[in-house]
Structure 1
């Protein structure tokens, strides 16, 4: 039970920091500025659902991709660690990732922004997909797999609530508060990155030394 709770906490923390719904808020507000409350709510809900489905698909098919391309899990851990570390650096400096879209083009895909760019890649980006594949590989029992999926569901619910309440949250936190939260999450991502990198490097080095 303790192992399952620890794994669930790791999954929730890593997904929440990598998805970074607080960093997505300004983009969400900008791209839904011309929508009424009902359409904005539906956009946030659809984006969260699409992101959840994408993460789950990658979590369960990641190993097949490894086998098809001949990629080792440990190598993927190391690359994932590098990706997370770079993301954490950006977050630590409070650089919000924003989608570059011309004002004249926003209205042409406003009905589809919940899928692109909000769900993919703003909510469900490379970091979250990498995290899903790696954690599913670690989830070697049914309870751990259930804990992983439950954690993703919880993160998506929280993401939806944050986007739904984005106007209020930004007013309460202010730009300074948003930047502080971004930096704190950046630190957590960087710690996770170091853990991932060395958990992949250690078995590779052991294999090299053992063979030699």
Structure 2
């Protein structure tokens, strides 16, 4: 039971910090400034739904991808750890990933921004995808698989709610509050990165010694 709780907490915290809805908030507001409340709600819903489907697809097909490309789980953990660490470093310095879209092009992409760049790569980035594949490989029972899928759904739903409430949240906590939250989440991401890196490195070193 304790093992399931620990796994569930790892799933929730890792996905929340990697998806980073608080970091996506200002970008979402910027890109939907000229949209009505209904259009903004639709954009947030579509972006969240697309992200959820993509993460689930990668989580379920991770095993097939490993076999097809001849990739070991341990190698993926090492690479994932490096990616997470770099992301965590950016978050620790409160640097948002800039989305380069010209002002005169924003309206032309109103129907597409929910998919790119909001769903991919802002919500469903390489960190979240890697995390889904690695955690699915670690899910050794049906209970853990269910916990993982529920955790993904819960974090994506939370992201959707945060995006809908973005204008109110930013008014309450301000940009300074967002930066503080990003730094805290960045620290968590870096800790997860170290765990992933060494959990993948140990078996490889062990095999080399043998």
TM-score (norm 1): 0.98
1:114-125 aligned within 5 A: 114-125=114-125
Distance 1:152 1:181 in 2: 20
Gaps of 5+ in 1: none
Q: Normalising to structure 2: TM-score of the pair?
A: 0.99
Q: Is 2:32 the partner of 1:32?
A: yes
The whole-number CA distance in structure 1 between the counterparts of 2:64 and 2:98 is 32
Separation (CA, whole Å) in 1 of partners of 2:114 and 2:198: 36
Q: CA deviation at 1:2?
A: 2.0
Superposed, which structure 2 residues align to 1:1-212 within 5 Å?
1-210=1-210
Aligned length: 210
TM superposition shift of 1:4: 1.4
Root mean square deviation of aligned Cα: 0.6
Q: Can you list the C-alpha shifts for 1:124-176, whole angstroms capped at 9, x where unaligned?
A: 00000000000000001111000000000100111001000000111111111
Q: Partners of 2:104 and 2:40 in 1: how far apart?
A: 20
* Superposition deviation, residue 17 in structure 1: 0.2
Report the Cα offset of residue 115 of structure 1. 0.8
Determine the C-alpha separation between the residues in 2 that align with 1:179 and 1:112: 28
User: Could you list the per-position Cα deviations for residues 7-31 of structure 1 after superposition, in whole angstroms to 9, with x for gaps in the alignment?
Assistant: 1110010000000000001110011
Once residues 12 and 87 of structure 2 are traced to their aligned partners in structure 1, the CA distance between those partners, rounded to angstroms, is 17
Q: Which ranges in structure 2 are unaligned for 5 or more consecutive residues?
A: none
